[in-house]
Structure 1
Amino acid sequence: MRELRPWQWAVRAARHLLLLLLSVLFLGEAGSTLRTQPPRRYTPDWQSLDSRPLPAWFDEAKFGVFVHWGVFSVPAWGSEWFWWHWQGERLPRYELFVHENYPPGFSYADFGPQFTARFFHPDQWADLFQAAGAKYVVLTTKHHEGFTNWPSPVSWNWNSQDLGPHRDLVGELGTAVRKRNLRYGLYHSLLEWFHPLYLLDKKNGFKTQNFVSAKTMPELYDLVTRYKPDLIWSDGEWESPDTYWNSTEFLSWLYNDSPVKDKVVVNDRWGQNCPCHHGGYYNCQDKFKPESLPDHKWEMCTSIDKMSWGYRRDMTVSHIMNESEIISELVQTVSLGGNYLLNIGPTKDGLIMPIFQERLLAVGKWLSISGEAIYASRPWRVQKENNTKAVWYTSKGLAVYAIFMHWPENGVLTLEAPITTSTTKVTMLGVQGPLKWTVGLKGGLLVSLPRWAPSALPVEFAWTVKLTGVK
């Protein structure tokens, strides 16, 4: 090989250095291009919208509190559908109630000034919800009666700023909830029973969209831009399809361009054709309770008062869910991959009745011990033990949790589903130290539970055994 002269070596080195610099510049520009690529755009059709991944916070939250509050809290009788039962269906018992308790000519609008929220202290509410172990709170911004709990620009003199409380209830609670790092959701009814424009569209077979253009959509856009909710809980969809409501157009804006596009979660009530088919997560129907593990994220909404969502003065103790019922439903819901949204109805003054407070605090007490098996958990390969004892499973990482509803009389918990290994360990949430166990005759585990008096146990019902090293 011919020996290169010094100046030739210098030229070759300079050439290599130039190529290296060009490569770095090219790769840097390419990387910059990749980094600045615009995020995916969702088009206003269900195929595109349904493909959006659900923000992770919702599945991790598991438990939320629902609040039904509005002008219906003034008559506080029958249910939050008071106006419809009285003047829509004209049910005799509602007509008689009004006749016996209010002067002649009394209208539903006359209840408005009596919705005072005089004793509404949002920080007290938020403290209660936090103590209940809730990770998100959903407030009714507007029910089917049309009264808005915020100064809606398209609900003149039928909102909480112009009438009644003269306060922005949605904003105040949102501030209090977020100070405690809870997520904030807004319930909103698409329809209004007696709004003239809605009745006109209904008369036209929903071929016109006067109400949607003048009322529904302006309010939804206002709620999102003003309060930046983590969740939109839509309702009132059942009389017309999503095409009437312009739902896909709104959702495409929400997912693409809204101030909450990356974090917001929505349910499935966007038209009569949507529940259990389209949307973010599925409600399907009130108090929906599947028998087996669904293939889509879902939420069970239910109310402590079994007969109503809003507060009612004719409520009795027999109508109230007890603590074990609530916790049992929570456990079953989470085991089947759902979230549990538990409702209360405050009074017209903004008070939460002691019975509701007691139930919420009982859930919080249970979650303070058992929350490890609930929050951020995942359904296990088996959701429920296939025997007569109610045992539900959840999982998190390498741990499996067996939550059992009834304490076995012999003090031995039989678990057939888990397959033990040489590293299997069994503990009980709220109890220090491992539990003794043996392999059952047909496999699984026989767990020896602590032989303590019931008062000494960490919780009163729904005890949790934690298993590691099982398959």
Structure 2
Amino acid sequence: MMVFKLLLFAVLCVASLASYTPDWSSLDARPIPSWYEDAKFGIFIHWGVFSVPSYGSEHFWYLWKHKHDPRYVEFMKKNYPPNFQYQDFAPMFKAELWDPVKWATLFKKSGAKYIAFTSKHHEGWTNWPSKYSWNWNSVDLGPHRDIVGELAEAIRKNTDIHFGLYYSLLDFFHPLYLEDHDENNCTTQNYVNEVMIPQLQEIIDGYHPELIWSDGDWTANDTYWNSKQFLTWLYNDSPVKDTVVVNDRWGIGSKCAHGGYYTCRNLHDPSYQAHKWENYYPMQGHVWGYDRNMSIDDYATAQTLVSILVQTVSCNGNLLLNVGPTHDGRITPIFEERLLQIGSWLEINGEAIYGSRPWTHQNDTTTSSLWYTVSGDGKNVYAILVEWPKDGAVILGAFKGTSKPHSVKMLGYDGSISYTVQSEGLHITLPVLLPDTELQWAWSLKISM
């Protein structure tokens, strides 16, 4: 409590001298750091005690013990003794096969430029040795390892990926959280002052994440969470003040309105937004943690994922693609395959994605399977086909009335591309590609004006 009071006093005292003040008009004016604008593709990683039952949802504890969802109640009755508690899963979360360098290598091959790793989910378990989560963290129990610290080191030593952390503001079963919400209707902030803010300080001072993916904000307004005061410190005085980027989940009404980039809803349908946004997308159904009950049909195909990436980037978003590791620390082969497939596509087509910006058009009136980006310097437009036209030709109506381009090329293809300017737009005849070509899932036409 005293630590946070001192922090809050310091923030308020220097606010008039600092770049940002604890109000949304000031905080919302902070530009998104350029690294995030350029990155375009990141990986979300949900891993915690919920990975042990690995059944249904990462909200397993809440659905079982609070909602008494029949599916979860029956699962526990069939598979565990009557006196079994959720806390009994923690010693089983051993991470005995976890190799953070192997993860880092896979993420690098995927083409991802940043990650958001679960430091703490709604169950309160911390994947670092938090002083404010005694005997409910990855060093005191389970792996007996500082997972956040080891992963941060592996990422930074072996890749150029930006290291970020997911953090749940709420803690469904923490006594102080329950006291604040159930008895006082958020008139006290004991949980915020004694647990949440100190933990956020721990991960920022200890691990220097360049991204904070806040969540669990929906039970109270930003005043309860002290969000504006925290962000003021983060932007003005924290060790990552110049590079950190945050999302928009800082209290009721803040999502898609305040903070950094927007995360309006799950499975966001891409459409252009002037404000930077992120499409956070689960690779397996609607589940974020690993679910042993999934079948092959529940996993998105490489075709689908590449298409979502292209559409998202065209519309001013970043794609944050989720993987759920097993409790022992493995990223299963199907997750691994999908990440490698995206990486192989980006190795050829990354020029049309990384560092790009939305063009004056996002898609085209002549076909729903084509999306545009433009290079950062504005000299090259990329028309990305997510479906190959049956007749081997495409008309780019967005170029109607323009002069003939200087050149048209297909990324990854060395041959020439035939094109003409016609009344309805730019007419391009696509090459005949061999079946074993590496060009697949989506095809990028580079149009130099």
Question: What TM-score comes out, normalization by structure 1 length?
Answer: 0.89
Which 5+ residue runs of structure 2 have no aligned equivalent?
A: 1-15
* 2: CA distance, partners of 1:145 / 1:71: 8
Residue matched to 1:171? 149
Q: Which amino acid aligns with 1:208?
A: T
- What's the offset of the Cα at 1:423? 4.7
* 2: CA distance, partners of 1:220 / 1:93: 34
Residue matched to 2:382? 401
Is 1:132 aligned to 2:110, yes or no? yes
Aligned partner of 1:117 among 92, 95, 116: 95
The one-character-per-residue Cα deviations of 1:81-110 (angstroms, maximum 9, x if unpaired) are 111110110011211110110011100000
The one-character-per-residue Cα deviations of 1:221-274 (angstroms, maximum 9, x if unpaired) are 111000011100000000100000000111000001101100000000010111
Q: Which amino acid aligns with 1:284?
A: C
The one-character-per-residue Cα deviations of 1:26-50 (angstroms, maximum 9, x if unpaired) are xxxxxxxxxxxx9852111111111
Residue matched to 1:461? 441
Q: Residues 290 and 326 of structure 2 are in contact (CA less than 8 Å); yes or no, is this contact kept in structure 1?
A: yes
Q: Which amino acid aligns with 2:280?
A: C
* 1: CA distance, partners of 2:17 / 2:433: 57
* 1: CA distance, partners of 2:346 / 2:31: 28
The one-character-per-residue Cα deviations of 1:401-426 (angstroms, maximum 9, x if unpaired) are 00011212221111110254255310
Matches within 5 A, 1:96-245: 96-179=74-157, 180-203=159-182, 204-245=184-225
* 1: CA distance, partners of 2:283 / 2:132: 33
Residue matched to 2:422? 440
**Aligned-residue CA RMSD (Å):** 1.3
- What's the offset of the Cα at 1:387? 2.8
Q: Which amino acid aligns with 1:448?
A: T
Q: Secondary structure at the match of 1:445?
A: strand
- Aligned pair count reads 429
- What's the offset of the Cα at 1:285? 2.0
* 2: CA distance, partners of 1:252 / 1:318: 45
Q: Which amino acid aligns with 2:316?
A: G
Question: What TM-score comes out, normalization by structure 2 length?
Answer: 0.94
Residue matched to 1:412? 393
* 2: CA distance, partners of 1:263 / 1:224: 12
Residue matched to 1:51? 29
Which 5+ residue runs of structure 1 have no aligned equivalent?
A: 1-37
Q: Residues 266 and 281 of structure 1 are in contact (CA less than 8 Å); yes or no, is this contact kept in structure 2?
A: yes
Q: Secondary structure at the match of 1:421?
A: coil
* 2: CA distance, partners of 1:141 / 1:76: 18
Q: Residues 454 and 460 of structure 1 are in contact (CA less than 8 Å); yes or no, is this contact kept in structure 2?
A: no
The one-character-per-residue Cα deviations of 1:87-145 (angstroms, maximum 9, x if unpaired) are 11001121111011001110000000000010110000000000000000110000000
Q: Residues 20 and 235 of structure 2 are in contact (CA less than 8 Å); yes or no, is this contact kept in structure 1?
A: yes
Structure 1 stretches of at least 4 aligned residues deviating more than 4 Å after TM superposition: none
* 1: CA distance, partners of 2:106 / 2:18: 39
Q: Secondary structure at the match of 1:103?
A: coil
* 2: CA distance, partners of 1:430 / 1:39: 52
Q: Which amino acid aligns with 1:267?
A: N
Against the structure 1 CA distance between its residues 115 and 230, is the aligned structure 2 distance closer, same or farther, given a 3 Å change threshold?
same
- What's the offset of the Cα at 1:350? 0.3
Residue matched to 1:305? 284
Q: Residues 425 and 434 of structure 1 are in contact (CA less than 8 Å); yes or no, is this contact kept in structure 2?
A: no
* 2: CA distance, partners of 1:455 / 1:447: 23
- What's the offset of the Cα at 1:348? 0.6
Q: Secondary structure at the match of 2:104?
A: helix
Aligned partner of 1:318 among 297, 311, 320: 297
Q: Secondary structure at the match of 1:391?
A: strand
Q: Which amino acid aligns with 2:257?
A: H
- Greater Cα radius of gyration, structure 1 or 2: 1
* 1: CA distance, partners of 2:406 / 2:372: 16
The one-character-per-residue Cα deviations of 1:133-173 (angstroms, maximum 9, x if unpaired) are 00001100000000000001100000000000000000101
Residue matched to 1:79? 57
* 2: CA distance, partners of 1:459 / 1:436: 18
* 2: CA distance, partners of 1:200 / 1:93: 28
Q: Which amino acid aligns with 2:423?
A: L
Residue matched to 2:11? none
Q: Residues 209 and 240 of structure 2 are in contact (CA less than 8 Å); yes or no, is this contact kept in structure 1?
A: yes
* 1: CA distance, partners of 2:105 / 2:386: 29
Identity across the alignment (%): 53
The one-character-per-residue Cα deviations of 1:295-333 (angstroms, maximum 9, x if unpaired) are 200101011111310001111111111111101100000
Q: Secondary structure at the match of 1:454?
A: coil
